[in-house]
Structure 1
Amino acid sequence: MLKDLPRHKGLRNQLVATLKAKGIKNKKVLEAIANVPRHLFMDSGFIDFAYQDKPFPIAADQTISQPYTVAFQTELLEVEPGSKVLEIGTGSGYQTAILMELNAIVYSIERQKELYDKAKKFLPKVGYVPKKLIFGDGYLGLEEESPFDRIIVTAGAPFVPNPLLSQLKIGGKLVIPVGEDVQKMTVFTRKGEKEFDKKEYGDFRFVPMLKNSVK
């Protein structure tokens, strides 16, 4: 049964306090973290730990990201209500839900069939229906729906895929962890047809973004 009890809400409020103490300032992002029932996105064996600020395993050798990482990336993304957002790596769907709490219009791509199937069934059950959920190759982005106001990558990319840069609107932002073992959280802002502003924000560790294209 999908239950979100008062004690879960209390634990989320504690998590929000933890994230504030770690430097997350955006009120809307903190509200989204307070609203999304993270325990429902996790395997039952981990539910008691759902509101610790830690990543946990999900299916297909992937993880649900640490809440701080989700909040940090989302804060960098600077989502506005109605922003058209491409998410690379649906995973558990938790980040998708956070984006939808911010009233973004979300297009999400997942490379792992098992996770894609699970998210497609699960997200509507908890009230989050992305504009599009696609089983596909994140390196290619989603050309037919571009351009996007924002693109967020939730896996470690060994390099920055050019299609993602080209699918940004002028003024749009790409938030992507770049690197092999340790990733630098990197933000690209599109300034012109061929001009991008790049900023880096500290080291993170993500599961790798899969390189092989979808069969």
Structure 2
Amino acid sequence: MNQPRRPGFPARLPSASPGSGTSFGTAKPVTGNPARVLPRVAPAPAGVGLDSSAVRERMVRRLADSGIGSAKVLAAMGAIERHRFVDSALVNQAYEDTSLPIGLGQTISKPSIVARMAELLLGAPVAQAEGLGRVLEIGTGCGYQAAVLGRIAKEVYTIERLRALHEKARDNLRPLRLTNVHLILGDGMLGYPKGAPYAAIISAAGGEKLPEQWCDQLAVGGRLVAPMAGPDGRQILLVVDKTAAGLKQTVLEAVNFVPLKSGVA
């Protein structure tokens, strides 16, 4: 049987029309065009205050003290400047272990949960054997978690249903020039079949049940990490490992994420 054609690495978009002011083109829903690609450049030099690497180093030490043991995850958390992903009025709280509003009723997850979920992805059997390959992120938000994932995975497809947040993430990520991070405007509950199968799927929003499309798009040996409603209605962190025999679910700690919704707005 012929296998479905997957996007190239990295996926590419046609150039924007003359006078458009951008070379990235216009974001399209999942039903149409390939994902947006952000080219890579060298990181900005460290400066003073919130630009200082010392601030991020203190955050990384706190993460390590709290139990995050992956050197890859800690390095990624130290490299990505979280204050660049929050509103200017909140920059003084950027490196505190707290979630912060990013508009439209959404939040940027606290550093400890971003690091925790990233480390769980690296624990997937296929990731341990081959390194973390292609990852699907449900809920781009402001782009912070996508940037962290871009440091630990070979390729990241990240999908956002809210157009304003999709555009905000694009603006936030552009200076980082991550060629392996692809932004998609679309319904995350449907996943992104053009990029499947995925070594890992991670969700930044919690639903009542796990969408079947996510499980279908997960590779054998891959891992899905997502908040889900538990029997009592409260959210728990769910890990799903896909094996040749089926799906194995592991329930972890209680969490608190924004609700998972369908559609594009």
Fold match, TM over 0.5? yes
> Deviation of residue 188 (structure 1)?
0.6
**Equivalent residue for 2:104, pick from 60, 71, 89:** 60
Give the letter aligned to residue 184 of structure 1: I
> Deviation of residue 60 (structure 1)?
1.3
Q: Does structure 1 conserve the Cα–Cα contact (< 8 Å) formed by 2:72 and 2:152?
A: yes
> Deviation of residue 17 (structure 1)?
1.3
2:31: which partner in 1?
A: none
> Deviation of residue 45 (structure 1)?
0.4
Asked whether 1:113 is paired with 2:155, we answer no
Query: 1:82-121 residue pairs with structure 2 within 5 A?
Result: 83-121=133-171
**CA distance, structure 1, for counterparts of residue 176 and residue 157 of structure 2:** 17
Match of 2:103, SS state, is coil
Match of 2:171, SS state, is helix
Query: 4+ residue stretches of structure 1 with deviation over 4 A?
Result: 79-82
Asked whether 1:42 is paired with 2:86, we answer yes
**Equivalent residue for 2:254, pick from 192, 195, 203:** 203
Q: Does structure 2 conserve the Cα–Cα contact (< 8 Å) formed by 1:184 and 1:202?
A: yes
Asked whether 1:187 is paired with 2:231, we answer no
Match of 2:206, SS state, is coil
Deviations along 1:115-144, whole A, 9 cap, x unmatched?
Answer: 001112331222334442111111100112
Asked whether 1:155 is paired with 2:197, we answer no
1:5: which partner in 2?
A: 47
> Which has more radius of gyration?
2
RMSD between aligned residues: 1.9
Instruction: Specify which structure has the bigger relative contact order, considering alpha-carbon pairs within 8 angstroms and separated by 6 or more residues.
Output: 2
**Which stretches in structure 1 are left out of the alignment for 5+ residues?**
none
Give the letter aligned to residue 68 of structure 2: I
Match of 2:104, SS state, is coil
Q: Does structure 2 conserve the Cα–Cα contact (< 8 Å) formed by 1:4 and 1:37?
A: no
Asked whether 1:132 is paired with 2:177, we answer no
**Pair 69,131 (structure 1): closer, same or farther in 2 beyond 3 Å:** closer
Please give the TM-score of this superposition, normalised by the length of structure 1. 0.92
> Deviation of residue 162 (structure 1)?
0.5
**Which stretches in structure 2 are left out of the alignment for 5+ residues?**
1-43
- Name whichever of 136-145 and 124-133 sits farther off: 124-133
**Equivalent residue for 1:29, pick from 73, 80, 85:** 73
> Deviation of residue 214 (structure 1)?
2.4
**Pair 61,36 (structure 1): closer, same or farther in 2 beyond 3 Å:** same
**CA distance, structure 2, for counterparts of residue 129 and residue 59 of structure 1:** 26
Question: What is the aligned length?
Answer: 212
**CA distance, structure 1, for counterparts of residue 238 and residue 132 of structure 2:** 23
Asked whether 1:14 is paired with 2:70, we answer no
